Structure 1
């Protein structure tokens, strides 16, 4: 039996020749939230350099608004106006595609003016109006599987995008709820979702999150990130999603599970070797 998942029939094609689902390792990474221009540029430049040296395709990610924070008092980010300005600068000066998430249908057209990929947060994966609005922009759409959803439920989400005229769709696994404040990852779900013919990404940092575990914020176990990342690559995913910050302990959100920028290279070096082995078979 060959340990190879079904070939992708609907690849993602972005400007600059970047293709997701064509066999090349793709990293989607950046800070959880846009905290400022200087920090985003630092992360984007650092990750671009590492990825170029390692031969990895790179997409910068960051959120202009964290609309699903645990507490009303939690910081949310810079907002859509300033957020798009910063993402536009990252895109222009670093020369990398950018991804950001949208939480309401009206945000999609605005975000699509700059972002190459619109992301549907896991909590909102079943919100039809949001999914359709994102798909109708014509931009690539990355839908995160809800923590409450089965892998096969995502087939209907793909259908919403395709019915809206957009086949540039990818799915991201970020774990499933396992009791309270805990997530687990069922690796068989990666195989199931990829069997639909669309690229599948593994979110290695949110998969180790402890949602709401700190009361007013989420906890997490960043030390497990490399292990789950390698496991997903051994299964055969098309790319890795990871949140990376210059100083995770000072991040305004997901401080417990983001990877420090200085630590990302050795993690990726190991991951690449796993990915190469998987793709031999």
Structure 2
């Protein structure tokens, strides 16, 4: 569904991401993890064409996005950033309606069919009862679900989420991730998300891509990726890995920061 080939990204004279490749299957949930500053969010921005890349290719459904118009890309892919901002007087329904813009001509208004999609998206995310509320009046978890509804109304094939649980308490983090997983399974939506919490990445991902210093360190199933050695080398912390039954993902227990022993 989504193929990233040899992506290179630079800011000024500094290489942020080097020769990055990723192949994501249709209907798969892939989490990108890694230390702060490793290039996780930068990769999503390049994939969504928010920022340019020096070289490399990004293809969705075998179509290179550089050859597509912005409208065509928006019909296939949607990205939600860490912090999304809306006008202070915008309602939830109005926000979700913006998800229909890629499917309209510039002079067309939303019609009855568009509102069917908008209301479907609100129902999917449990936000129908909030449709007349102002976005600014919502809690963090409610607002995140409103933005997810807007993304659903866009009817993309691929959903990119940059740290979707940022600023949320534990209960709302789990609520948002459960919603993302349900939408993935029921709608066959391909999801690529940047996460910081290793246990969230383990529990809600089909595969995990570990980034270190702008390079792909390892990519595979959570049970294969999350080892004490890998977490020590990437994050510099000691952990215990609780291997669950074969059908479940491992649980990571962080113990302490790792310090290499000096010789002599």
> Into which bin does the TM-score normalised by the smaller protein fall?
0.3 to 0.5
- Identify the structure with bigger relative contact order (alpha carbons < 8 Å, sequence gap 6+): 2
TM-score, normalization by structure 1: 0.37
- When Rg is computed on C-alpha atoms for both structures, the one with the higher figure is 2
